[in-house]
Amino acid sequence: MIRIIIADPDPATRKALTLLLQRKMGTNGIVEVGDVETLIRTLADASPNLLLLDWRLYGSPAPDTCRLLQKAYPQLKIVLLSVDAADEAAAREVGAGFVYKGASPDELIATLTPLLMNDMDKDTPQVDSNDDAGKENNDAGQCADA
């Protein structure tokens, strides 16, 4: 199962993102957190595939939080969310994906899908490796950078 943490101080934003991801990506493994302390506790208890981290999450500047999390959880994919499109360069500098909060739902899903492709492939039954279609499916799971 795909496991996603949504870390955003606004409960309405967290709920909207949860509903969107459930409907568009079919994942129910979503945990919502509202601050950095809860995020750290949640990361210790779970093994998420992806973290959607609000740029202004209370507790620490996003780039600093991102760096710390990448050291502690090197396999964790992080996408920073911001109301300021100018934050994208700083997100990229720390190796995170970026989604502008003004983006359409389709743009958000288009950003997340490549990041989760390998994880989604692990959750689906594999086709017999002797089948040509199965070979294509196994090759399609390469993860792209956001």
What pLDDT band is residue 57 in, cutting at 50, 70 and 90?
Answer: confident
Judge whether 53 lies within some domain.
yes
> Rounded mean pLDDT of 68-93?
93
Among the residue ranges 18-27, 76-85, 110-119, 129-138, the one predicted with the least confidence is 129-138
Per the CB < 8 A criterion, the answer to whether 66 and 95 are in contact is yes
Judge whether 19 lies within some domain.
yes
pLDDT in tens, 107-118: 999 999 998 887
Among the residue ranges 44-48, 60-64, 90-94, the one predicted with the least confidence is 60-64
Write down the pTM of the prediction: 0.79
* Segments forming the whole domain that contains residue 47: 3-139
Judge whether 99 lies within some domain.
yes
Number of domains in the chain: 1
Judge whether 96 lies within some domain.
yes
Judge whether 145 lies within some domain.
no
Closest to 57 measured CA to CA, from 104, 25, 10, 12: 10
Judge whether 74 lies within some domain.
yes
CATH number of domain containing 35: 3.40.50.2300
Judge whether 129 lies within some domain.
yes
Judge whether 90 lies within some domain.
yes
Instruction: Say yes or no to pLDDT of 146 above 80.
Output: no
What pLDDT band is residue 65 in, cutting at 50, 70 and 90?
Answer: confident
98, containing H or E segment: strand 97-100
